[in-house]
Structure 1
Amino acid sequence: MTVELNHTIVPARDPQASAQFLAEILGLSVDPPVAHFTPVTLANQVSLDYDQLDDFEPHHYAFMVSEQEFDAALARIQHGGITHYGDPACHEIGQIYHSKHAKGRRGTYFHDPDGHLMEILTPGGS
C-alpha cells in the first residue's frame, strides 16, 4: 500500500460556517458531520475535518484546481467581495500570480473566516 493523506484537522471558531465558506469557493459540498467534525472532502478523497477551537494559529492550505475551476473559484471570490492576493505575504491585493517555475501555473491567496491562508493554483506545465 502506498502512503496517502487521509484527512487533516482544520481548527475553526465556527466549523460549519468555515467549512461552508471554503466549500462554496471551491464548488464543493459540506459533508454530513462525522462525530464532532464538519468535513469537506476533496476530489482525491482527502477530507478537511473542521473542528471547533477558540485559540489556534492560522495555517496555510493549498488546493490544486483545473483552469476552469480556478476561473470559477476566482469569480466566486470576487463576487463575494473577498480580498485575494498574488503573494503569500498578502501585499499584492486583487492579484493572481503566474509561476516562473511551472509554466502556465496561476494562483491566488485569500483568508477564510478564521484567518487561515487559502491558496488555489492550477497545475501549469513544467
Structure 2
Amino acid sequence: MTVQLNHTIVAAHDSHVSADFLAGLLGLEVGADYGPFVPVGIPNGVTLDYKDTAGAITPQHYAFLVSEDDFDAIFARIGEAGLTYWADPFHSRAGEINTNDGGRGVYFDDPSGHRMEILTRPYGSGS
C-alpha cells in the first residue's frame, strides 16, 4: 500500500492573508478558493488548505524541506518582511539560524501564530 499525505487544513484568522503570507515567502502560488478553503500547493503534491476560524487558534508546526538556494531566497524574503525568526521551535534563540545535521534551519510565525520552519537537511540525517 502507498500512503501519501494529500492535504491538511490550517486554521487561520484570515485564510487569504495567511495563504498569501506563506506562498509569498516560499515562492509558491495560492490556488483558487475551493469551498471554504484557500489552498497553497507544495511541489510534492501536498496542499495546505487555509480555512477561516473564529476564536483562538492552537498553533501548529509546519516544516518545509528546501534546497540551499531556496533557503537563501526564502530567508531573504523573511528579512525583507522584517519577520522575527528563531533557530529553535521554542523561540529561545532569536535572530539565529540553526545548523543541525550540517544544514540550516529557521523558524518563524505566520499571521495566525502557526510555527513555520524551513530546513535544508532532514533531522537525523547526519552531517
* TM-score, reference length from structure 1: 0.93
- Give, in angstroms, the shift of residue 123 of structure 1: 2.3
Report the counterpart of residue 79 of structure 1 in structure 2: 80
SS of the equivalent of 2:116 reads strand
CA distance in 2, matches of 1:111, 1:89: 12
How many residues end up aligned between the 2 structures? 123
Secondary structure of the residue that 2:30 maps to in structure 1?
A: coil
Q: Provide the residue aligned with 2:66 in structure 1.
A: 65
Partner of 1:115: 113
Structure 2: which amino acid aligns with 1:107? G
1:91: how far off? Answer: 1.4
Structure 1: which 5+ runs fail to align? none
Q: How does 1:1-126 map to 2 (within 5 A)?
A: 1-55=1-55, 56-99=57-100, 102=101, 104-123=102-121, 126=126
Q: State how far apart, in whole Å, the 2-side matches of 1:72 and 1:63 are.
A: 14
Distance 1:82 1:47 in 2: 24
Structure 1 counterpart SS, 2:91 = coil
Q: Which amino acid is the alignment partner of residue 32 of structure 2?
A: P
How far apart, CA to CA, are the structure 2 residues paired with 1:83 and 1:66? 21
Gaps of 5+ in 2: none
What is the CA–CA distance in structure 2 between the aligned matches of 1:43 and 1:106, rounded to whole Å? 20
Q: What is the one-letter code of the residue matched to 1:4?
A: Q
Residues of 2 paired with 1:111 and 1:4: CA distance?
A: 26
Runs of 4+ in 1 over 6 A off after TM superposition: none
Instruction: Read off the aligned partner of 1:61 and give its amino acid letter.
Output: Y
Give the Cα–Cα distance (whole angstroms) in 2 for the partners of residues 123 and 30 of structure 1.
26
Please report how far the alpha carbon of residue 106 of structure 1 lies from its aligned counterpart in structure 2 after TM superposition: 0.8
**Per-residue deviation, 1:26:** 0.3
RMSD over aligned Cα, in angstroms? 1.1
